[in-house]
Amino acid sequence: MRQSSFSVKRSFLTSILSFVSCVVQVYFMDTQIWYAVFSTLIGGIYGACRRLGEIRTLGMLRSRFESLPWAFNKLLIPSDQHKRKGFRAAFSTKLAKPSGNEQEREKIAARFAQMWNLIITSFREEDLIDNREMDLLLVPYCKDRELDIFQWPPFLLASKIPIALDMAADSGGNYRDLNKRMKSDPYFSYAIRECYASFKNIINTLVFGQREKVVMQEIFEVVDKHIAEETLIRDLNMRSLPALSKKLIELLELLQKNKVEDLGQVVILFQDMLEVVTKDIMEEQELSSVLDSIHGGNAKKHEGMTPLDQQDQLFTKAIKFPVEASNAWTEKV
């Protein structure tokens, strides 16, 4: 009788333990389910706040690329400064640009450029992109101090110059409207500044004749003055910019070939570009100082003449071509 009672109690305890274990398992599974739901919600909110996965197209990459150096410096580079901690800091998305001097900003940009180029190079090594795509994506390796600007990858600026030329040619002297359209995309400004700075640098590198250097310096001073006063569109004829751009493209093609037999064509292109600038782009009131330089400081004797009427020998023996090849020069061209 006692044995039967003991077996009943044992069976009852076993049933209770089995039931409790099932309940525990159910609660444990519920905990996993709720943890998965909770993790998904928190992860989604955190990712949205940190903007993870936001750059999904090339257009989005263009629009976000300007902020990448500062984000890279803040999130991936160790800093000696005290960093905020806590819940609010974890969800913070503020990536303010550094308020330091120009040297500090250049250092940040250089760090990012090195990392970015390593990533793009690894893409090429894995055969994910071809050589042309790699060249478009790379930040220029050789920092040209004479340009005094940060150079962006070509894929950001490649289409901006032709569009800007068309906009300038069709602006009709309406500087405010053109300026508003340019400011709608900051890469217009970057492309124009880099193109103009590179153009000046290439011209100053190729021209070594004293008289010719003075002429080019006078022209650049006139343009720089208008840029500083924001009167470039109003006072200069922008409709002839496409013609000047065409001559410059022909010059760059010859510079890429860099053959001594093309020296005559290079000289002719310089003379053609000077003629476009002085006859088609600059107005009469802008020509006095340039004419003085071209005519040896005596423009009055040549009043009524175009700058090249009796100066067809200008640039003939004043161009350094071919140019000594270097990585920096190749990237610049």
Number of H helices, E strands in the chain: 16, 0
- Give whichever of 12-16, 173-177, 225-229, 232-236 has the largest mean pLDDT: 225-229
> Which range among 87-96, 106-115, 289-298 shows the weakest confidence by mean pLDDT?
87-96
State pLDDT tens for residues 57-71. Answer: 777 777 778 888 888
Cα(63)–Cα(186) distance, integer angstroms? 9
pLDDT of the residue at 159: 85
pLDDT: is 12 or 149 the higher one? 149
Mean pLDDT of 210-216: 89
Amino acid identity of residue 102, one-letter, is E
Instruction: Burial-class residue 217 by CB neighbours within 10 Å (0-12, 13-18, 19+).
Output: middle
State pLDDT tens for residues 36-65. Answer: 888 888 888 887 776 666 667 777 777 778
State pLDDT tens for residues 115-126. Answer: 899 999 999 999
- Report residue 185's pLDDT band, with 50, 70 and 90 as the boundaries: confident
Determine the 3-state secondary structure of 207 from DSSP: strand
